[in-house]
Chains A and B, each alone.
Chain A
Amino acid sequence: MASNNRSPISRRTWIAATSGAVAAGLIKTQADAVKLVAQEAPTPPDDPTKVPGRFTSEVGVRAPEERPRRLTRSQTLSSSSRTPLQELQGTITPADLHFERHHAGIPDIRAGRHELLVHGMVERPMVFSMADLKRYPSVARTYFLECSGNGGGAYNRERMPVEITPQALDGLLSTSEWVGVPVKTILNEVGADPAATWILAEGADAAVMSRSVPMEKIMDDSLLAYGQNGEAIRPEQGYPLRLLLPGWEGNASVKWLRRIEVTDRPTMTRDETSRYTDPLKGGLSRQFSFFMDAKSTITFPAYPYTLPDTGWWEVQGLAWTGRGRITRVDISTDGGRNWTEAELQEPILPKSTVRFRHLWNWDGSESLLVSRAVDETGYVQPTVQQLWEARGERTAYHNNQQRVWKVGADGAVTFGLGDLV
């Protein structure tokens, strides 16, 4: 910014603040003066090289212009909030912007009093404090978490507005580096019966939310997680301890974990029968549909952005699969007629999000941007028509259809409802 735009107000403020404060005896050192001005400056200086900056602080805050916010829908006990996908960089979700889904609010739990009970088909029923659990060999892994209802709104087009952001549509998706103990370590500790085939995981929230999980997953890569992005798990994500089932629907990664029962059959809890089951055509309902299949969405350009100009733009987005690694993301700018392979940002981690990029020279004509993820099993993110054919038209969980964004001739971007070729 040009220095001749310097605001006379800030200079006046400085003089008034310092002279008045000196007279009042509030400023004894240069540090006092800096602190006073930094705290009281109503507007940023026109030239930051001419005004001393702030001191260090115990906890940082975002720049004043950066105000990413979760999208909350209703203030009820069973509710959710969504991650602002279109405002984030890279793949890691800041912990305070991780999506939320609670079934009876966020419990107030003190780590010093929290315990995990492990019992059932075990040789030694045991209780673990958080200090006990943290003494076990730990691992850190970067995984996405996604609610199986994420994006369900797009499955039924009649109910779907085109003025919808990636956050409002797909914001029940976040990625973190999780730190914790493999569940199998603890099951080894208690002497789990080899004949056991399931566990029941139960939370310490007011819903005592619980899910049955197959032992195969538990012994594969499941974690008892207490760390998230370098710090303790946030209360909204299950402080101080949660189950973390990489690549599986978020609900099964039980938060505020207080109990694991080793068993030989599912418990058939409310959230694996009445909820999180997927009605199919033909009068059936799919149960224990844990895997999150390959999915992607463009986060830029997307609603509410308007491209101000033709020319080169970097189309960006996220791709992920619960079945391992993303191997390819294709981009179409013409509604799926022609596809080009996008660039994938390394490292491509299994069961994590990957950022894709595609340089696009927009000629100013109406365009339909589509992304299509492919994973290491050969699965190709389907069109909504393929899903309707397979499942019928009235389900909503696990909707991983190809997302379409329409760029109008005026540059305005909207969700491409009904526009996929």
Chain B
Amino acid sequence: MRRLGLATMVLAIGCAPAGSSSAGGSADGAEPPERFGFGSPASAERVAMWDIDVKPDGEGLPPGSGTVAEGEQIYLMHCIACHGPTGTEGPNDVLVTQEPWEEWPAGRTVGGYWPYATTLYDYTVKAMPQLTPGILTADETYAVIAYILYLNDLVPEDAVMNAETLPAIEMPYRDRFVPDDRTGGSVIR
């Protein structure tokens, strides 16, 4: 872009040699390349180190597993201070509800609102616990998710969460989420 600007300026003052410049060209006559090549190749190890997100179909979930009982211990150690003894007391986000979503959701709780169980893994492994994010192992993360799902009546007490079972959970309100239908124009949506 800078080179185009220079070329335009040279033309504007009327001293450019004939044929030295064209739209998209540059002052020294070279066309910008298809690719510039600035940056470095990312190794597979480098990608693996940061590629920690989890997709709704389970892509990205690591090996490992955890049970509801193990998760209760993790919850008591790492989560209870912010989310309360049963996941309903706060002071931070309420995680659990037994109230159904009828006209309006009872809250943005896991059982009452969240459309995908895999989001629990993606979020917990990245952002929780809030003051020491990222310290939970894969097994611990699966376990605490199992416990939160259990508190929401979404899995039984003997449930085991792993890369196969977590994405298979059908969250009750997934179909309530609809794409944005606002389009601008005269209709208010």
Interface flag for A197 (CB, 8 Å): no
Q: Name the residue among A77, A124, A283 with the largest chain B CB count within 10 angstroms.
A: A283
* Interface segment, one of B12-20, B50-58, B62-70, B147-155: B50-58
CA distance A379 to B108 in the complex (A): 31
- Chain B, range 11-60, C-beta contacts under 8 Å to A: 32, 34-42, 44, 46-47, 50-56
Q: How far is the CB of A319 from chain B (nearest CB, A)?
A: 15
Hey, which chain B residues are within 8 Å of A386, CB to CB? 188
CB distance from B29 to the nearest CB of A (A): 18
Query: Is the pair B35, A119 in contact by a Cβ cutoff of 8 Å?
Result: no
Interface residue from B1, B179, B181, B186 paired with A138 (Cβ < 8 Å): B1
Q: In the complex, are the beta carbons of B35 and A188 less than 8 A apart? A: yes
Residue pair A126, B40 in contact (C-beta under 8 Å): yes
Q: Does A26 contact B (CB under 8 A)?
A: no
- A residues at B contact (CB < 8 Å): 77, 103-104, 117-119, 124-129, 132-133, 135-139, 188-189, 200, 202, 206-210, 258-259, 261, 263, 265, 267-270, 273-275, 277, 279-291, 293, 323, 375, 377-380, 382, 386-387, 389-392, 394
Name B94-151 residues within 8 Å CB distance of A: 101-105, 108, 113-116, 118-119, 122-123, 126-127, 130, 133
Asked whether B182 lies within 8 Å of A291 as measured between CB atoms, the reply is: yes
- Which residues from chain A contact B182 at a C-beta distance below 8 Å? 289, 291, 293
Whether the pair B188, A290 counts as a contact (CB closer than 8 A) is no
Q: Within the complex, which residue of A126, A267, A273, A378 is in contact with B114, where a contact is CB–CB below 8 Å?
A: A273
How far, in Å, is A378 (CB) from chain B's closest CB? 5
Interface size class of chain B, counting residues whose CB lies under 8 Å from the partner chain:
35 or more
CA distance A275 to B47 in the complex (A): 28
Query: A189 and B36 in contact (CB under 8 A), knowing A138-B1, A287-B179?
Result: yes
**8 Å CB contact of A135 from B36, B53, B105:** B36
Considering the complex, give the chain B residue whose CB is closest to the CB of A265: B55
Set of chain B residues within 8 Å of A270, measured between Cβ atoms: 119, 122-123, 127
Of all chain B residues, which has the CB nearest A206?
B133
Q: Could you list 19 examples of A-B contacts with CB < 8 Å?
A: A126-B41, A127-B39, A132-B38, A136-B38, A188-B34, A189-B37, A189-B39, A206-B127, A206-B130, A206-B133, A259-B50, A267-B122, A269-B123, A285-B178, A286-B180, A289-B180, A289-B182, A390-B189, A392-B103
Alpha-carbon separation in the docked complex, A282 to B37 (Å)? 52
* Minimum distance in angstroms from A187 CB to a CB of chain B: 11
